[in-house]
Structure 1
Amino acid sequence: MNQASLYQRANQVQRHDAKLILDEYANILQWRADGQDTLLDVGSGSGNVLMDFVHPLLPKDYSQLVGTDISSKMVGYANKCYHLYERTKFRVLDIGCQQLPAELQGRFDHVTSFYCLHWVQNLRVALGNIYELLRPEGGDCLLVFLASNPVYEVYKRLHSNPKWSSYMQDVDQYISPLHYSADPVEKFCQLISDAGFTYHNVELRSEVFVYEGVRTLKDNVKAICPFLERIPSEMHEEFLNDFVAIVISMNLQEGGNSEDEQRFISSYKLIVAYARKSPDFVRTTLNINSAIKSIKNIK
């Protein structure tokens, strides 16, 4: 995940899902009456999802927008790309850390996160930290991450190949902690409640994304695969070829014989969770489930 410029170009799935979900939840987030909102994003990566889809939703007089990522290279890239934006900065943060930086605790009205929490094995600690990031008097969060994805099965099969096993000994650390759960919604609801949130709405969504052509698929793998940086660069193309071969063996490919004509079908499941720290509703008559259904019906 350290190839920031490549990730910026190859994160079509993340952008697609973030936009759709934010369209639904933009009017449900508890925006402040004075417009002085502060928002922290967890796992911002190269920053383009945050700046293209979250930033435009903020009140024009928002107080502060903070993007965070565990990768210092991603943070450096994002700061370079978006340094002209006022009241906006990116910084390193491991949301799975045992102790949050003191200057971040209780500072934010909103926490968002897109395609990050499936990288965190200890969701209990991560949710506790998200709770502590929000102001003591209240705040809300919108969290979107993978519950399951066929890429995890590809990783497991690559790990069983002696050629790659030494580079992937910790493969289970890179599989979503909900991937093998019989009821990921129930499990995540319990974790949110245990963290202290007084209201939550958790959905499991089935999604499909199509990668057009072998190169598109390989670029996505290069952008997000955590094992490539351990593998000698001269073996990268061989690894990617083996990755594609496994995808084809799993019947996730269709189309012609040429690489440009082939299409790769990824069916995956997303957790979409909205939670509030305080029971106080900015709009006391708002019913979240009916609001979401109304928005969908309009579309």
Structure 2
Amino acid sequence: MINPEQYASFDNMCKSNASNIINEFAKDLKNISGKCMDVGCGPGDITKNILLPVLNSKATMIGTDIMENVVEYANKTYGDKERLEFEVLDIQTKNLPEKYISKFDHIFSFHALQWCNDIRQMFENIYCILRPGKTMLILSIARCKALYEPLEIMAQDIRYAPYMGDKKKYVGSFHYSARPREELKELLEDIGFQVHHCSHREMSNCTSTEIFMSMVTSQYTFAFLDKMPHNLRQEFKNELEHMFTEIKVKQYRDRLGNYKLHDEKKGTNIPAEYTVLVAYAQKNVA
């Protein structure tokens, strides 16, 4: 189920969000001319087509992802010998390879860090990867009731639990936080970052449930689907889609006061509500 080509075909939401954040910070990014890393780069399409073009022409980029087959796809499809290559890296590792330590001028990450369980270790690794005085720009999903909470429930279902494991893997670290922006800022400052920007933003996405689920389930977090019998896998997907649609419709009705929706059954064109955390921070000069 870890299908980078499928993900790239359905990740318009991610492309749009990444483009907007990159444009917002364009003045800071255009002067970056050193060695950069895109953490959780996935298939590499955003790294190649959206991120790299806004940097100084002298900037080079390494995209990293936890999945070997995803990195192979990215290298084959988007890699080049001059400015862009892709490597396997678990950003939560407790044994960060020496070749990464204090070697990078900027770190990016879009729509990936929400799947990290040990967020402190992850940010400590990013801090170690950066050279002193250098920067990171990240966008991570904070709250997504329509996705996280069904997954949390399903991870405790006797049908799926043996395959899914710990339910905490499927709920973003800030989903239940009353003050996610403050918590993230405090964590970054405690690690040693100077935080230039940290915001918690409300978002919505009108992508159809079918397309959204095709994107989501093609990621590393859903590798457990490969271990399921075909019939159970389909049952899981159908149930997840149903719960996702049910929650996003309820949120929409509660927000607008519409008690009858034309496409309520399929959830067509009804936006899914979620929030994101955006942070731009700098490693302190030693």
| Aligned match of 2:18 | 18
- 2:263 corresponds to: 256
| 1:183–1:121 CA distance, 2 compared to 1 (3 A) | same
CA distance in 2, matches of 1:249, 1:87: 45
**What is the CA-CA distance between 1:235 and the residue it aligns to?**
3.0
How big is the shift at 1:174? Answer: 2.4
Kindly indicate whether the alpha-carbon contact (under 8 Å) linking 1:108 and 1:135 is maintained by their aligned counterparts in 2.
yes
TM-score (norm 2): 0.87
Ranges in structure 1 where 5+ consecutive residues have no aligned partner? 280-299
Q: Is the 8 A contact 1:147 1:184 kept in 2?
A: yes
Q: In percent, how many aligned pairs have the same letter?
A: 30
What residue identity is the alignment partner of 2:241? V
Once the 2 structures are TM-superposed, how far is the Cα of residue 255 of structure 1 from its aligned partner?
Answer: 4.1
CA RMSD across the alignment: 2.2
| Number of aligned residue pairs | 272
Q: Kindly indicate whether residue 281 of structure 2 is the aligned counterpart of residue 275 of structure 1.
A: yes
Match of 1:143 among 138, 146, 151: 138
Cα gap change, 1:217 to 1:278, in 2 (>3 Å): closer
TM-score, normalised with respect to structure 1: 0.83
Q: What aligned pairs does 1:25-174 form with structure 2 within 5 A after superposition?
A: 25-29=25-29, 31-32=31-32, 36-62=33-59, 64-84=60-80, 86-136=82-132, 138-150=133-145, 151-174=147-170
**Residue equivalent to 1:293:** none
Does structure 1 conserve the Cα–Cα contact (< 8 Å) formed by 2:202 and 2:275?
yes
Distance 2:31 2:49 in 1: 19
CA distance in 1 between counterparts of 2:226 and 2:249 reads: 26
Structure 2 unaligned segments of length 5 or more: list them.
Answer: 251-260
Match for 1:231 among 208, 220, 228? 228
- Letter of the 2:71 counterpart: V
Shift of 1:147: 0.9
Question: Do structure 1's residue 180 and structure 2's residue 187 form an aligned pair?
Answer: no
Q: CA deviation at 1:256?
A: 3.3
Whole-angstrom CA distance in 2 between matches of 1:181 and 1:258: 31
Q: Residue type of the partner of 1:139? A: K
User: Cα distance 1:195–1:76, how it changes in 2: closer, same or farther (>3 A)?
Assistant: same
